[in-house]
Structure 1
Amino acid sequence: MSRVLVPLAAGFEDLEAVTVTDLLRRAGLTVVIAGLDGQIQRGSRGVMLQPDTTLEAALTHEFDMLVLPGGQPGTNNLKADARIIGLVKKMVAEGKYVTAICAAPSVLAAAGVLDGKRATSFPGALDAYPEVQQQRAAIVEDGKLITSRGPGTAMDFALTLIERLVSKATRDEVEAGLQR
């Protein structure tokens, strides 16, 4: 079964982290939530999440997909962590899925993996990175780099991730269970 890593930093976007984790687990994927500092993480809206493990421990394992939730200051905390930047570069080099939503595509841009690539983000989050081909779509795929706009696109983002990592049939099954 595919393994997905969702790193959490203080100030993550609550809706994005919870929605993506929930839907990927409904699809039968192993989702590991890793806290940057090993503590309970408080989202930007006050939701408290207990990570499954620390980022340090998670880095000793292999993952098929990395999902970076946005939110502030969560995105800036991810961007400032050299382990996250190194992980992004490593997973891209290995041809694995690297995904981000809301302001978190700026973490990918800071790592240099969006240079010349198409991506979307929360409005303004990628403005400091002119090398990124900004798109206005809700979800943008450029190879195995997948980005999304923000909290309002979290469910469709998660369903897209399921389709790419598992199958269209699994995506449809999970979506049907949501009564959409």
Structure 2
Amino acid sequence: MVYLFLADGFEITEAMAPLDMLKRAKVEVTTVGIGSRSPRSSAGVQVIADRTDADFVLPEDAEMVVLPGGMPGTTHLMASPVVREVLAEAKRRNLFVAAICAAPWVLDANGLLDKRRATMYPTMQTEMEHGVYTEEPVVVDGKVITGRAAGCAVLFGLTLVTELKGREVAAALKHSIYPNW
């Protein structure tokens, strides 16, 4: 099971493109609204999360935690005690953690990027204090997956599928959506 966290001000493409790729690959995903079951994206698009963060504890079936970027969504993720607890538990259990755009900042601040290669939105790279910044579109370093920006959201989603379901499933999925790359 994948748990994707949505806070007011999330970047819609960075949340929905990976969610779509995971669902197409038949990966179970639960969306978790931070502070609300109906967070709004940075563009004002309101979504209905599967559940809220009220009393949320990372279930035993968790395989991956995903954080989309966007502002001020990333700052809301950063301020969330639930997100901090979930990331600590994911680290303890050696689960996959994934973040895109500004959200790798949250991973870095919570001790998940220590000396790991990672990417993030270029203007946010100064916030990366513990990781090793790279300008690649998507980076996998062990169980940590980072994406650079909204323009990389489909590739980021396909990478999540690769890590959970394997290269063959991801390659078939990529072919089915006819990307231009």
Could you say which residue in structure 2 is the equivalent of 1:105? 104
- The 1:57/1:32 distance shift into structure 2, 3 A limit, reads farther
| Correspondence list, 1:10-159, <5 A | 10-56=8-54, 58-59=56-57, 61-62=59-60, 63-159=62-158
Q: CA deviation at 1:177?
A: 1.6
**TM-score of the aligned structures, taking structure 1 as reference length:** 0.94
Mapped to 2, the partners of 1:22 and 1:16 lie a distance apart of 10
Letter in 1 for 2:130: E
4+ residue runs over 4 A deviation: none
1:124-153 CA-to-partner distances (Å, cap 9, x unmatched) read 223133322111100111100010101000
Identical-residue share of aligned pairs (%): 35
Letter in 2 for 1:131: H
| 8 Å contact from structure 1 (residues 10, 43) kept in 2 | yes
> Secondary structure of 2:122's partner?
coil
Mapped to 2, the partners of 1:176 and 1:118 lie a distance apart of 28
Could you say which residue in structure 1 is the equivalent of 2:160? 161
Which consecutive unaligned segments of at least 5 residues does structure 1 have?
none
1:43-88 CA-to-partner distances (Å, cap 9, x unmatched) read 0012111001112355252310011000000000000011101211
| 8 Å contact from structure 1 (residues 105, 125) kept in 2 | no
Mapped to 2, the partners of 1:90 and 1:124 lie a distance apart of 29
- The 1:167/1:129 distance shift into structure 2, 3 A limit, reads closer
| 8 Å contact from structure 2 (residues 37, 51) kept in 1 | no
Deviating more after overlay: 127-136 vs 4-13: 127-136
Mapped to 2, the partners of 1:101 and 1:171 lie a distance apart of 19
> Secondary structure of 1:127's partner?
helix
- The 1:151/1:175 distance shift into structure 2, 3 A limit, reads same
> Secondary structure of 1:112's partner?
coil
1:16-65 CA-to-partner distances (Å, cap 9, x unmatched) read 11111111000000010110123311100121110011123552523100
Could you say which residue in structure 2 is the equivalent of 1:175? 174
Mapped to 2, the partners of 1:68 and 1:104 lie a distance apart of 6
Q: CA deviation at 1:15?
A: 0.6
**TM-score of the aligned structures, taking structure 2 as reference length:** 0.94
Could you say which residue in structure 1 is the equivalent of 2:4? 6
